[in-house]
Structure 1
Amino acid sequence: MNDLVSKLNPFNGIPKYQVAQQIVNLGLIVSTALMIWKFLIIFSGSESPIVVVLSGSMRPAFDRGDLLYLDYDEKSPLRSGEIVVFKIEGKEIPIVHRVLNVHENAAGDYLILTKGDNNTVDDRSLYNKDQRWLTRDHIIGRVGGYLPYVGMITIVMHDYPNLKILMIVVLTLIVLSTRE
């Protein structure tokens, strides 16, 4: 039994300073990723500067799996034809669609109607019950650029959660096999 436990222990036989070094390296990678994310938030003005297109509703402009870069300046006016990302209260996933209509009053308040390019009707059925328009508070950002299909790994991991477990098992087996 002890042989099995020692074979399965990935740190067996590795000096403690090397384990500590690997933990520090992992911490640096995570910290760097978080700093890049925070920099993008500040630079873009959007709470979520990068999103993945999850459906085909914006074809041919964007395909499922495209990675979008968002920017957002609350002071610049929204116009029909712009592609925005918005979030509906009570719903977790942001939506990428084109602005169909914008109504602006003298006070600068906006009423916004959106529609997916590949959809036949506007988005009112996606909004909350009795909600007919979006406001600026719903808008997360405007699409500033994109990378085609780069976000497919996110979709695959979401659609097939067992794949994550399989990848962890395979990586563990690879690490264990290289130690012998």
Structure 2
Amino acid sequence: MLLIEIDKTRYRRHFNIVMGACISFLLLGSLGIAQLLIAVFPAAEGTHFHWNLLGVIVTALIILVVFKSKRQHPFLVEVVYVLELKKALNLITRKVRKLQSAAKMGDPNALLALQFSYSGSRQLWLLDDNTITLASLDKSQAELEQLLAKYDISIDITKYNSNLLKSF
């Protein structure tokens, strides 16, 4: 995955619209489907919990199918990019201890994965206005730069691929 610059204002606006649409559709769709099922299959007594649950599940599946089919739409470019970035960072986070140990030994793939993680996290945190944790990220980045200098390794973040993580 490549890190790309995205417009924060556009991302936030599109993300809010997508979330609002999903929440609204989930609310209206699940209630509508549940009410339709209750009308078609009435029960003399009970809470109709199963029909309400089925309404939520069906509506969530419809949202998922629509989102997957429209993910290439220009309106969703930033939203999909951030979701993919979060997914890539999560893969690294699961192996961060092994990566840090290997980085201390000078493993170039571990150093590359950590550099991608720090750069991606910085971008993500700035997009989400999560600036409180940037100080810890700066500290980790400085430690990484010391390791790069110690082992005289130059890394190109555009070469990062999640397949590098399989060896850790």
TM-score range, shorter chain: under 0.3
Q: Which has the bigger relative contact order, CA under 8 A and spacing at least 6?
A: 2
The structure whose residues are more often strand, as a share, is: 1
> How high is the TM-score relative to the length of structure 2?
0.26
